Structure 1
Amino acid sequence: MSDVVNLRQFKKRKAREEKEKAAAENRIRHGRTGAEKKFEREQARKAGEFLERNRLEPAAAYPAKAGDEDA
């Protein structure tokens, strides 16, 4: 004879396993590790600093344009 199986619990377990499988696929497809995010932020910061250091004229030397409320 076989074991008695509670179908409600079986369906819930199967649904949880499928949901976890889908979540794992999404993490692989869309996710990035913390190290990757940190590396990208650091690269952007370094690029911004490089551009600022190598600017031909200081930012204050540019005249305000018509429509610029911040200046």
Structure 2
Amino acid sequence: MVENISYSGGQEITSLAQNRQPLSYSLTISTFYMPGLADLQAELPKIDTPAPANKENPLSTFSDTTTASK
């Protein structure tokens, strides 16, 4: 079971001169296992989830740029 998800990043990037800041995240989960309940496995709820939709990262980033040498 997911208990908590949190993340934080740097300030919004508004120009190419700014450096990207690393993204920090935290995920807290709880797991449970009781081998004596194997006979109840068929009674677990079925979870129907859609396939990923090829979504993009919601935290906007600029593409890497290179400078031409003279």
Structure number with the higher strand fraction is 2
Q: TM-score range by the shorter chain?
A: under 0.3
Structure with the larger helix share: 1
TM-score by length of 2: 0.20
What is the TM-score with the length of structure 1 in the denominator?
0.20
